[in-house]
Structure 1
Amino acid sequence: MRKKKKGIFMLVCMALLISLTACGQLELREAKPIEQGILKVGMNLQIPGMCYLSEETSKPEGFEVELAQMLADKMKLELEIVDTSEENLLKSLDGDLYDCVISAVALADWNETHYDHTTAYADLASVKEQTGITGEDTKIAVFTKKYNLMKDELETKLQMLRNDGSLKELSEKYFGKDITISEAK
């Protein structure tokens, strides 16, 4: 009888331990930025109209810069832009240098295979000459490291910007036309 009670006690303890561990993992599964209070965004600041350094102020400007600021504001975070070369944009996500990439990154097969992303929010096909973008893949999204819950948070905030017309206004400001993609497309 003592062995049976001891066995039941052990099972209860294990169940309690498992449930406490699961609670701890739920807390870890929150969408949290790399640095508390800051949305770090990787950008290649050499893309006309999209993300570039202003000649007058030497500060980042463009469609993607303002989009990043709007997303940070919606998430109640400060924005920090990390200027990165085109070849290191996505790779630096793996090194946890920033939370996401917002820099005219297309939904190319390799990008989609190796990184998570929001739904496409713009199609650069009609502004390729203005931006200097080349290649066939012209639909762009916000990219994150695989399995990063920030992607879901960014997706939610991006949808808010679609719904309230902010994304369309931003597009028209920089390109004179709407290059945004509604989620339904």
Structure 2
Amino acid sequence: MKFTTPLLAAAMLASSVQACIRVHVIAAYNPTVGDGMRVQIWDNDDFCEVQRQSKTGPNAETHWQFAFGNGHFVELWDNGRTGFVSLPGGYRANLNLRQKQCEKNCYLFGENYCKLSGLTYESALDDGFGNCGSYGHQLCNYADCGGWHQKGWSNGDDGQCRPNY
């Protein structure tokens, strides 16, 4: 956690505030409907908002920026697994990855192989502040999109979506 002003640090630390900002992210690279990211944000138990964005040709290095109506600002990259959150008044914290999964779907089959596939990454993150340890950070475990799919992270967690057999 990083405070940008000493006054903000003193006020937050002197109070008994224990807030946890949680973010749920789905980044989808889909050749049939397009590429995009969906972000949900909670402040403690209060659901704040969900936003969606589309981009042409994004990759793991693409930065996605979301400005929520309650003043929360979230920037994400690495397919939604890395980022930070900031609030009005100077609070800024790096987000901690708590859960992740990926899914590879085939949209067009050839003879014994997939001609056209897409990837979906899902992650749960938080700012590590206050009571974040009391939340389960559950993922949706999205349903099969029809037909063949594979889930899992490669050995060594290099960020590539590969099936674990």
Q: TM-score, normalised by structure 2?
A: 0.37
Higher strand share: 2
Higher helix share: 1
Q: TM-score, normalised by structure 1?
A: 0.35
